[in-house]
Structure 1
Amino acid sequence: MENALSAEPALTLDVARRVLDSGPVVTVFGEPMLDGWWHGSSTRMAREAPAPIVRLGRKDSVPGGAANTAVNLAALGARVRFVGLVGDDEPGAAVRDLLAEAGVDVTHLLAVPGIRTITKTRIVVADQVMVRLDEGNDVHPSEALDRLAEAAVAASEGVDAAIVCDYGTGMLGEPVREALRTRAARPPLLVVDARNGIPWAPLRPDLVTPNAEEAGTLLGAPLRSGTDRAGTVAAEASRILAASGAAAAVVTLDRDGTVLLEQDGGIHRTWARPASDKQASGAGDTFASALTLARAAGLPLPVSADFAQAAADVVVSRSGTSVCSRDDLLRHLAQFADSALAADDLVRRLAGERAQGRRIVFTNGCFDVLHRGHTAYLNQAKRLGDVLVVAINSDDSVRRLKGESRPINPAPDRAEVLASLSCVDYVTVFATDTPIPLLERIRPDVYAKGGDYTIETLPESEVVLGYGGEVRILDYLADYSTTAVVDRIRTPAPVTEDVARLEARAKRGRRSPIVERRAGL
């Protein structure tokens, strides 16, 4: 999984394009479903029962369950194989046709007589789901499960990644789990998205994606709404990873975004972009699909989580079981490409945020070469309120502060990278040496600054405290700084014995692949 994308520190439009153009081969194992969205109108109640009479109009059928995951992957540019069972019935044929139309390989989608394809039909009136009708049984003949296990092994050969989508119907039971556990060739990346991740722990997945309820199952206790669920997840990281058997986990918390947990103790938070309430379904499938694609393409885990969050933000703003396509995601990310707001625009936007009762957090800096210290700091700042504003020094201001060799990246590029982080809500550029004039205009509730400062040494403190605001000094990661990163880049790597030997061979006319790469050939 190590490639040029492995070094990317943040999600930019260019990084997203390279991921979407990578075209990995991904196998999806899971329960295919047919989602029905039947729309109608209702103006009166039935005489025979206290129930509304619905006059049906448009009927939409789309792939649901694991089939939705497969369609999302295909729409994002992956080459997808699907493994699952459907009934030998009309809904099963519809699922097969819809998957094939989306470009998914359905060679290993098995039609089994005697079982009914799982369907979930929602009756919608005036954008309100009135009732959901579920059909399909959870009983699968042992012979069918044995065939499915064989298909799962065959479909996972030669792939870049595989994702398990287990909704707990019994389809992905012990025969399939054992076949995948004992297969000769393991995919480079195994992702498990399961209602109950514990039975999948023996497979030692690279990544699991439990939601809040599923994380509660792993912990043996629910994550209660109205509490600091993200904080609980971070505190229980070792237990979640141990119970799932995974190298890493991304716990999805709907409106609260996600929390990435890594074995080395690394924690990364993503933040969901606010969206109006819609009857959306399947955003978790979109997130898991985009996360799998990004990791298969070689993006680091934190950036992969941001990539997946962006895709999920696209679908939660829509109604029904929705799909995020390549073009959808690029259009969404393009909003942040020219993302630095002028001061007047920022003041107007923040007035609207305050009118909705949101707490404004402000921080500032050069943010020249984004690194882990920056992202950890910005996530800390976001947790102090509801809206995070990041003000960056203009190029001239950076030169005055850091010298003529800086900035490395111009202000528009720095603004785009910062705006792509899900924890950042607004970015602006200021030309003065301090952000005091800007602070006097927007008067944030909290002014946050890194731990290499104190309240007493900050010239901004007097202004913020004077209007009744709060100054917070955040943790300082001493091992991370832009200067240190730049110094490492500019310092030639030591020539090892192996590299010296290869360069000597190249001088004798036998050029090695490593030397060719170093030479840019």
Structure 2
Amino acid sequence: MTSSYLNFKDKHILVVGDVMLDRYWHGGTSRISPEAPVQVVKVSNIEDRPGGAANVALGLAKLGISVTLVGIVGNDENGDVLTRCLEREGVTCRFVRSKTLPTITKLRVMSRHQQLIRLDFEEREDSLSQNEALARVVESCLPESDAVIFSDYAKGCLADVQTLIRLSNVANVPSFVDPKGKDFSIYQGATLVKPNLLEFETIVGKCHSTKELEIKAKALREQFGWKALLVTRGEDGLILFSDDKPPFSLATAAKEVFDVTGAGDTVVAVLTAVFVTSKRFTDAVEYANQAAGYVVGKLGTASISADQLEGIMFKRSHGTNFGVLSPEDLLEQIKLSQINGEKIVFTNGCFDILHPGHIAYMKQAKALGDRLIVAVNTDASVKRLKGDKRPINNLVHRMSVLEGLGAIDWVTWFDEDTPKEIIEYLTPDVLVKGGDYTIDTIVGAEHILAHGGEVKVLTFVDGYSTTAIIEKANL
């Protein structure tokens, strides 16, 4: 596949499904209750996170997609908390408020990163009026949507999902389903359905070989009129069935699995987001696979940004231990280089429009060691620092140009306003900054010096400025 920059501008995705509030009570345990042989947890922190379909919507918002979330919540405080959590991240909430049902809430009591107990607050009521109210909201949202995701957690919101799929088809809006349950006929007519292997085998029976899986998948897709069927198989990767093409299989992108929480939500979010941009199922599956590999390598429910995702895909397409690498992969290469006695030099910047001053600076920096790293601000970071009209060139464009410079060994990226976190994460041997800085004002200098490294200030070549170039070109 030829990776192109993920342009989610002006794209809008509708998410419909079972929303819930994931609440965590964190605290220490130092004694046993005198009332019963149970631990006493002194709660010191309460954390609220969107769960279920709300986590799918949150993942889309993190990608920079415009997203509307439709679901059922109670007319209660937890419904208000969930709404605030989502709207703070840019999600538009169009909730149906139930007067009889509570907002689904899962309360986890945590101590020292261990879950001691989970308490679920939920009731189910498949009323005709509830289904009709939900359908009206969905129908009103479809005209502005490029796709709709139905996120089914079998909690009742999608009891009449067949009506919602029909509404999507009438509006010519592709529908992507993350299914649940023992009856997939309710998803008839959807564009793509994404069960995991267990959910798939619950419907078709045990598959004893890949060939048997392919036969049953083809039959199921044809039976229910889906354009595509994606079966996720954990450590065995993903397999896509679409049209009359041969199955498209991918090995898992995960290197280490720390936590699979939310991985399915990430897959369906990224899958749909990329499809509305590229219109190709295979592109969407490749990106979704890489995103899932990223989030399962993080503790807790993790999200991925468009910049992070594109950086991973860019590195993957180049297939080398040099050039563009994610911060995680770069750390591995730094350790190997340092074992071999090589000195690692680090610098950073936006590098929006590369000019001769930058080239001279890179050559000077490389001369201070054996390997040169350039960390680049993501597009979101540049906007925060330089304004809405910047960057002129997107992250992948900027990294690609830098990668071509002979003085540079590695290019990576960071999303924060300063490089402090990535400097502390990579801990290079030499930190370089250009300009009128003094060492004590350089971000990350204290960390490098404390670890026995060096901090150098280089003088930029006079007469060159990205801002001046932009002003001259009237950009």
TM category (shorter chain) comes to 0.5 to 0.7
Per the alignment, residue 176 of structure 2 pairs with 191
Select which of 68, 74, 81 maps to 1:94: 81
Q: 1:274 to 1:307 in 2, by over 3 A?
A: closer
SS in 1 for 2:143: coil
Q: What letter corresponds to residue 201 of structure 2 in structure 1? A: G
Q: Does 1:262 align with 2:242?
A: yes
Per the alignment, residue 321 of structure 2 pairs with 341
| Post-superposition offset of 1:267 | 1.3
Deviation track 1:294-352 (CA, whole Å, cap 9, x = no partner) reads 1111242222111011111222122222222223324444554764238xx9xx99xx9
SS in 2 for 1:328: helix
| Post-superposition offset of 1:52 | 3.6
Contact 1:152–1:180 (Cα < 8 Å) also in 2: no
Q: 1:282 to 1:187 in 2, by over 3 A?
A: farther
| Post-superposition offset of 1:21 | 3.4
Contact 1:85–1:110 (Cα < 8 Å) also in 2: yes
| Post-superposition offset of 1:129 | 2.6
Contact 1:241–1:263 (Cα < 8 Å) also in 2: no
Distance in 2 separating the partners of 1:184 and 1:248:
15
Q: Does 1:291 align with 2:271?
A: yes
Q: 1:256 to 1:50 in 2, by over 3 A?
A: farther
Per the alignment, residue 12 of structure 2 pairs with 25
Q: 1:192 to 1:231 in 2, by over 3 A?
A: same
Q: What letter corresponds to residue 100 of structure 1 in structure 2? A: E
Distance in 2 separating the partners of 1:238 and 1:336:
30
| Post-superposition offset of 1:87 | 0.4
Q: What are the within-5 Å matches in structure 2 for residues 194-273 of structure 1?
A: 194-196=179-181, 198-202=184-188, 204-219=189-204, 221-222=205-206, 232-273=212-253
SS in 1 for 2:170: coil
Q: What letter corresponds to residue 259 of structure 1 in structure 2? A: I
Per the alignment, residue 381 of structure 1 pairs with none
Q: What letter corresponds to residue 258 of structure 2 in structure 1? A: K
Deviation track 1:390-439 (CA, whole Å, cap 9, x = no partner) reads xxxxxxxxxxxxxxxxxxxxxx99xxxxxxxxxxxxxxxxxxxxxxxxxx
Distance in 2 separating the partners of 1:166 and 1:160:
20
Q: Does 1:172 align with 2:152?
A: no
Q: What letter corresponds to residue 142 of structure 2 in structure 1? A: S
| Pairs aligned (count) | 330
What TM-score do you get using the length of structure 2 for normalisation? Answer: 0.62
Contact 1:150–1:179 (Cα < 8 Å) also in 2: no
| Post-superposition offset of 1:77 | 2.1
Q: Does 1:39 align with 2:19?
A: no
Per the alignment, residue 304 of structure 2 pairs with 324
Q: 1:328 to 1:127 in 2, by over 3 A?
A: farther
What TM-score do you get using the length of structure 1 for normalisation? Answer: 0.57
Per the alignment, residue 67 of structure 2 pairs with 80
Distance in 2 separating the partners of 1:157 and 1:123:
42
Select which of 111, 116, 119 maps to 2:102: 116
Q: 1:254 to 1:183 in 2, by over 3 A?
A: closer
| Post-superposition offset of 1:284 | 0.4
SS in 1 for 2:287: helix
Identity of aligned residues (%): 28
Contact 1:35–1:321 (Cα < 8 Å) also in 2: no
Contact 2:254–2:292 (Cα < 8 Å) also in 1: no
Distance in 2 separating the partners of 1:110 and 1:81:
13
- Structure 2 unpaired stretches of 5+: 323-328, 337-402, 405-475
Select which of 66, 70, 75 maps to 2:57: 70
Per the alignment, residue 118 of structure 2 pairs with 132
| Post-superposition offset of 1:243 | 5.0
Per the alignment, residue 302 of structure 1 pairs with 282
- Structure 1 unpaired stretches of 5+: 1-8, 353-411, 414-521
| Post-superposition offset of 1:36 | 1.7
